[in-house]
Amino acid sequence: MEDNGDFVVRAPDPAPGPERQVVSSDLLDRVTAAMEELPEHYRVVVWLRDGEDLSYAEIADVLDLPIGTVRSRLARARSALKKAVGL
């Protein structure tokens, strides 16, 4: 949903109740570029969690990984993404 160049999105959780954020199109472009540069195993866990809204347990089941690995891998992926985006 586009509104004056910005995207109004619903954050996939975490807190109780939906959370709305305004994400600029510039940020989206940067995130897109950063996602494409991420290693595949990082990109997958980020996508499953934030794009598909899977829980840690579901990601662990889908990827056949321990749930602790999912937690740590997701934290590293987000850190790398943040770094690539420049936040």
Partner 1 sequence: MDETLRELVSRSLDGDLDDVESARLEERAKTDAELAKEIDAARHLRGAVAALSARMEPPASLDKVMEPLRQSAPATPQRVRSSFRWLGAAAALVLGVTVAVEVARRNPEPTLTRPPHARPRPAEDRREVFELSPLPTARPEKNRPLGAADHLLEEELLQPAAPEPPPLEVMGPLSTDETQAVAIEAPRSTRTKRVSPKGDGAETKVLEPLDSPTVREGFAQTEASAAVTSSASPKTNLARTDEDRQTTAGETSTGKTERPENAGRRQVMEAGIVIRIGGADVWTGRSVTCQEGTWLVRIEVRDNTVVMMEPIKGDAESVDDGGCRPDDLIGSILAGVSDGIHIAEIVVSSDPK
Residues in Cβ contact with 80 at an 8 Å cutoff, skipping those fewer than 6 apart: 38, 39, 42
49 contacts partner 1 (rule: CB under 8 A)? yes
End-to-end CA distance of the chain: 24
Q: Which of 18, 60, 69, 87 binds partner 1 (CB under 8 A)?
A: 87
**3-class DSSP state for residue 33?**
helix
Positions touching partner 1 (CB under 8 A) are 7, 9-16, 19, 21, 23, 27-28, 31-32, 35, 40, 43-44, 46-56, 58, 62-63, 71-72, 74-76, 78-79, 81-82, 85, 87
